Amino acid sequence: MPIPRKPARYLRDHVNRVTLRFTGHAAFADLEHVGRRSGTVRHTPVRAFRVDDKIVIGLNFGRGSDWLKNIQAAGGCRIRLGSEHLELGAPRLVPVEQGTAGIPRVFRIALRYLVRTVDCVELPIIGRQHGDRRSSTGSPSTNRSARAPQENPDQQGPALGDCRPKLGH
């Protein structure tokens, strides 16, 4: 059973700021997504795991999470996982049994039996961002949301950590 929405809002508003400081430790990651209505770049702390060529995130707050709705609307997002900055493709919802198959045992048990997560989201890795903001192929990043405000169309939008994060939903 996912965590109810009311406590989820409290967590989002008061705990996200602190949790983002743990990015890169204990599987915490900084998920960057664009608000589907506002067009604002948001940063949400999540527990994310790299499994082969995809990222797996447990939906502790259920399918109603705003960050999930935002990446579904945009068709992708970016994430800072450890020292890697990755571009991710369209999300795919999977049952927790399938989603947790490749993650460390302690987290698999915690998601399934302590948090009682029902679903996970799998996001394919479509590119890597380096210091020069180019993908692994050397071409500029192409995962721009049409809703993200761009002053200069040749610019790529804010890099992870370039701006003061607006806490995600």
Phi-psi region of 15 (alpha: psi -120 to 50; beta: other; left: phi over 0): alpha
What is the pLDDT at residue 130?
Answer: 65
Condensed to tens digits (0 to 9), the pLDDT of residues 81-91 reads 988 999 999 99
What is the pLDDT at residue 59?
Answer: 93
Report d(CA 69, CA 42) in Å as an integer: 13
pLDDT tens track, the chain, 169 positions: 555 666 666 666 666 666 676 666 667 899 999 999 999 999 998 999 999 999 999 998 889 999 999 999 999 999 999 889 999 999 999 999 999 999 999 999 998 888 889 999 999 999 998 654 434 433 333 333 334 444 333 434 444 444 334 455 5
| Predicted TM-score of the model (pTM) | 0.68
Please give the full DSSP string across 28-86, using - where no structure is assigned.
EEEEEEE-TTT--EEEEEEEEEEETTEEEEE-TT-TT-HHHHHHHHHT-EEEEETTEEE
Domains of the chain: 5-128 (2.30.110.10)
Judge contact between 38 and 74, C-beta under 8 A. Answer: no
